Amino acid sequence: MTTTAIISSDRVNGTNVYARDGEKIGHIDHLMIDKSSGRVPYAVRHFGGFLGLGEEEYPVPWEKLTYDTAKDGYVTDITREQVEGAPRSDKDWHGNRDYEQRLHDHYLVNPYWM
């Protein structure tokens, strides 16, 4: 367990994500970093499937995740139903402002670029 506020991205990858009720609802596959600002606007969660097969990728605004030391994972108020109902992404979603705006609207958070 790390005790500092700074963590390497390779330690975030694979970290579990939990709903507020404690249900495990996926894990973080990787982070997306804004090259200009250096901010992390999204954690890309993998969700569903079995043993990595059939998993789908869901970008989640970073501000929707809070690290919980007791769980050694991230907690979110996003429900499984909200994730499943989120705008679908394809492999080229990053940098697509229309898609990103729909994603932020879906999760009711302000866009990181504003």
Say if 101 falls within a structural domain.
yes
Confidence of residue 34 (pLDDT cuts 50, 70, 90): confident
Which two three-digit tokens encode residue 89? Answer: 């992404």
Phi–psi pair at 19, nearest 5 degrees: -75, 165
- The Cα–Cα gap between 90 and 41 comes to 17
Q: What is the pLDDT averaged over residues 26-51?
A: 82
pLDDT digits (tens, 9 = 90+) for 41-88: 999 877 665 655 666 778 899 999 999 999 999 999 988 788 778 887
**Tokens (6 digits) for 47:** 């969700």
- pLDDT one-digit tens code per residue, 96-112: 888 899 999 999 999 98
Q: Tell me the CATH number at 20.
A: 2.30.30.240
**Residue 1 domain-assigned?**
no
Tell whether the model's pLDDT for residue 7 goes beyond 60.
yes
Domain count, the chain: 1
Q: Which domain holds residue 47?
A: 9-107
